Amino acid sequence: MRYARQEIFKEIGKKGQQKLRKSSVAVVGLGALGSNSAELLARAGIGKLILIDRDIVELSNLQRQRLFGENDVGKPKALAARERLSKISSDVKIKFFVDDLNFENIGKIFNLKNEKIGLILDCTDNLETRFLINDFSIKNEIQFIYSSAVESKGYLFNAIPGKTACLRCFLHEAAGLDTCDTVGVLNTITGLISSTQANEAIKILLNKNHEKNLLFFDIWKNELIKIKIEKNKSCICCAKHNFEYLSGKKSSRIIKLCGDSIFQIKAKNIDKKQFNELKNKLKKIGKVADFGHCINFENKLTIFSDGRTLVKAKNEKMAKSFYSKFVGN
């Protein structure tokens, strides 16, 4: 009965619904795009979801990230998403990772030895992680869907290894791009892009005819443009199989996140004892909120047990200063 309205849709039917039930999808990034795409797929009856996000829920997220509520502020997004989705549907199996997806852990998280992921949804907010997913998908022949949204504009592209262009065929490394921090974002464009992404995901999983072009939307102007993307015969990734991001050659230690002036600083993994010692030290000098997977100090530092720290600061120099003062060099 749960999927009755979906099963009578002729493009899906009962056989299609059973196929969705056996499918697995990884969602990387649980901001406005990823959280909504994950919710739509959970409600649609996807059998298994793998959720990966390195960030925490902030009050400013609630304008567009409708999977979360005020009680989730300060929680890791992956944890909060798992809790909410489990209440929405007990049918779906959910694995979640409060982690920064990087070249060192991507193979372990996706664990291809035991089960091949059917599809990856790229809902991230930076090119480094996007290109890492691109490398991994091309190398392991896993289809993925690129999505992005900022201001009133959004993009979507279905990348099918061996058949379509990859991201590095048409996206180039760049700095200083517009972000939600600098130009804002409408919750309507994130809703449109994530809904389209979930729709394309269902088509791909069911081997139905899916979009071949790069889609561009401007919801404020009611514009939809389809852009034909050709494979780049000299592409460093899909043509030459030089996986710079997967090999770690392009890995960064400090990354500016798409949030309220938040920087992520990577450090070596710390053990449980060191994590608890740091927590106790900070409790003596200020207010500490303990979320299990991470601790928040004075609403300035969020320190994860894997060694990552999110620092709220005006610029990179101040972020490094806060980090050195309270965590160490």
Closest-CA residue to 93 (of 53, 52, 49, 51): 49
CA distance 275 to 191: 38
Contact 296, 289 (CB under 8 A): yes
CA distance 47 to 308: 31
Residue 166 is among the residues annotated as catalytic for this protein: no
Length of the chain, in residues: 329
Which segments of 54-182 are extended strands (E)?
93-98, 119-122, 144-150, 153-159
CA distance 29 to 35: 8
DSSP H helices, 206-305, are 272-283
Closest-CA residue to 80 (of 96, 93, 91): 96
Catalytic residue among 180, 235, 238, 258: 180
111 φψ region: left (φ > 0), alpha (ψ -120 to 50), beta (else): left
CA distances from 176 to 34, 46, 126, 315 (A): 23, 37, 11, 13
- Active-site residue numbers? 180
